[in-house]
Amino acid sequence: MAWYVIDGMDGSGKSTAAGTLERILSEKGRRVRIYNHPNDECVFGRMSRRCLLKHGTPAKLFSAAFLICDIIHSLFSMKRSDCDDVIFTRYTMSACYLSSKVFVPVYDILTAILPRPDMGLLLDVTPETAFKRIHSRGEDLEMFENMESLEKTRNKMLSVSDNWTITDAELTPREIEDVLRSIVKG
């Protein structure tokens, strides 16, 4: 089984890229499962999403704790999966939503204790583009979906991205597909 992780800040195109990667792999006859985080199929994912719609320190802490539980739940589910390939949207880069004082130690702990995917793709997009994409969804905004948070989150993600394949998510969907095809080939 190959395990792909597509990460990035809100509005970077994670779900779109995961869907494209799923199609590319399926074209090769592979059975693919996508785990989006927060995962609405899991109680921890639903609780995390609920907290993300609130504001304040307690909501941030509970959101992070529920998201970690959600991801761990997906890791156990993945181990029992009979799929050829698994795709996660959102993984250890989620630590970058935490405060500047704690995100690096939390990221380091997560990357030390959680398994490493076969391929980690970080989608990088400007905060302006991410904000436009977020607004185009027409959904309620989560606590981190504002220009200031997007800018800080992007900078944090880029600062810890040494072991990630970084892709410019400002590319067209066709160009992103080409990048994903080359990753699958390689």
Q: How far apart are alpha carbons 176 and 21 in whole angstroms?
A: 10
For residue 173, give the H/E element and its range. Answer: helix 173-185
> What pLDDT does 155 receive?
97
Domain boundaries of the chain, sorted by first residue = 2-30+86-185
In the predicted structure, residue 30 carries a pLDDT above the cut 90:
yes
Examine the pLDDT at 89 and tell me if it is beyond 90: yes
pLDDT of residue 114: 96
pLDDT above 90: residue 77: yes
Q: Is the pLDDT of residue 186 over 80?
A: no
DSSP letters spanning 9-60: STTS-HHHHHHHHHHHHHHTT--EEEEESS-TTSHHHHHHHHHHTS-SHHHH
Q: Which CATH superfamily is domain 2-30+86-185 in?
A: P-loop containing nucleotide triphosphate hydrolases (3.40.50.300)
